Amino acid sequence: MSSLQFLNERADIIKKAQALAVNTNAAKGLQEVLKSNLGPKGTIKMLVGGAGQVKLTKDGSTLLGEMQIQHPTAAMIGRAANAQDDIVGDGTTTNVLFIGELMRKAEAYLSEGVHPRILVDGIESAKIETLKFLEEFKEERKIDRDLLIDIAKASLETKIHPKLAEQMASIVSDAVMTIQKEDNIDLHMVEILHMKHKMSTDTKLIKGLVLDHGARHDDMPKKLTNCYILTCNVSLEYEKTDVHSGFFWSSAEQREKLIASERTFTNDKVEKILELKRKVCDGTDKSFVVINQKGIDPESLDMMAKEGIIGIRRAKRRNMERLTLACGGHAMNSVDDLTEEDLGFAKLVYEQTIGEDKFTFVEGVENPFSCTILIKGPNDHSIAQIKGAIRDGLRSVKNCIHDQAVVPGAGAFEIAASEHLREHQKTVHGKAKFGVEVFADALLTIPKTLADNGGYDSQEVILDCVDKYNETKKPFGIDLNTGKPSPSNVTNVYDNYCVKRQFLNISPILSQQLLLVDEVMRAGKRMRAEEE
């Protein structure tokens, strides 16, 4: 009987070899689920909800988030992999595969009587050496548009169709370059908006802004060119007093005067906007647009419509921040002392109606630091798939700019690191060599899986790549179109440096902890005796 069972006789205990088997089987099981999804040639999983909802995806993060994982060890691996996605935006599937393979390889040595602590020491030594090798292996490159497109394409092709990924890669690269201010990149300044309209290939980047609502007056123009844009947060509607009050009158004339005096407060604010419009637009080909975060009542809208102004009310706060970055000018909280310097400018503002939804496009802005990716698709599934891929693509481009370096992809780094560890193994003494060997073999699961998913013989492909690397000492990855080794500067497949560094930090640490588990105990305070 376990010592814990003396304290709690209802506790469930799994000891030694059984505990290790439970953890290893959980890691291997999750690996098998996600294995076929890796890489651009990976297959797709269909997730079906309790109410019959269907989701098709090959994104590891989505799968781990949507699947109901009940096994505690598998759930912990899933959370660790999702943490990688939260930090750097990619590498979820790689994490799961690497942890599963480390556990699988370690199991063989443990069954032969090697102590887990010795293996863990070897794995830790291999991890430190691999991180050092990563610093030497990364390529510090001048960051230009072509490189950013290559990085984005490598990320997007694992989530959507390659032809579509090629188009999206240039969209996300241009979006990040648009919002970049020196070293500061705020991805919240990229608005991602979707329209259920046309085809996925009609998705486009708008260097400006798209608002998901339109003008609220039928007589307002639907399209204006050379527009001054007033961005404001001012109430242009009749408001009741904060204190309880009442108006009393004895004749109809007095009532009309009271109504007129109530309206004067709001009308004066609208009139100040109209005066500014006349000042900057009369005698020119310029027009005027008002975008307000607060309300505009029907009478105020009518006054604007008579002056040929597009008035948009109740704009979202996030769009107010983006508007000034895209169009220039200042977000005004008062209509007093308005000047031309407070106004933004756009060459074209127009409204588009699709079904019952209205969209307002603000295009042709100068030096924008905010933009909109307008996703189009025939159904909700394709829109959701593209939206998820674009988020990951934006993160990969941002990571590349921050890292100022890239790592050759398509399995090139894993093959080179594995060969480097075999040399390092000669300098390690004792049984810790086994831990280094486990790490070196586990790294090869990434290129092997890429080859398997491409329909090639993984052993033959890996051996060819290893031979090429040993001959030239240059990075060789797998060309998934031919199944042959190919240098990274030919395939132009690159991974983010920070993604590789992160997965080399997360996976080995979790594997080490799981290997050192010698007892699994279920003994919560609220456990009750089973009914007999």
| pLDDT > 70? residue 328 | yes
pLDDT confidence of residue 466? 82
Residue 244 pLDDT exceeds 70: no
Residue-wise pLDDT tens digits, 59-105 = 777 777 777 777 778 888 888 888 887 777 777 888 888 888 888 88
Q: What is the structure's pLDDT at 526? A: 53
CA distance 116 to 518: 9
Q: How confident is the model at residue 242 (pLDDT cuts 50, 70, 90)?
A: low
Tokens 């802005």 correspond to 365
According to the model, what pLDDT value does residue 530 have?
47
The CA-to-CA distance between both ends of the chain, in Å, stands at 22
Half-sphere exposure of 445 (CA within 13 A, CB side): 25
26 to each of 21, 47, 433, how far by Cα in Å?
8, 20, 26
The backbone torsions φ and ψ at residue 224, rounded to the nearest 5 degrees and listed phi first, read: -135, 150
Length of the chain counted residue by residue: 532
Query: What tens digit of pLDDT does each residue of 330-369 get?
Result: 888 888 878 888 888 888 888 888 777 788 888 888 777 7
Helix or strand holding residue 386 (H, E):
helix 380-403
Q: Which residue has the tokens 């030497």?
A: 136
Nearest to 81 by CA among 68, 100, 55: 100
pLDDT, one tens digit per residue, over 6-44 is 444 555 555 667 777 788 888 888 888 888 888 788 788
Instruction: Specify the pTM.
Output: 0.77
pLDDT at 137 over 60: yes
The answer to whether residue 198 scores a pLDDT higher than 50 is yes
Check residue 6 and give its pLDDT. Answer: 43
Q: What is the mean pLDDT of residues 407-427?
A: 83
pLDDT digits (tens, 9 = 90+) for 249-295: 677 887 777 777 777 778 888 888 888 888 888 778 888 888 888 88
Residue 231: both structure tokens together: 């961005």
Q: What percent of the chain has pLDDT over 70?
A: 92
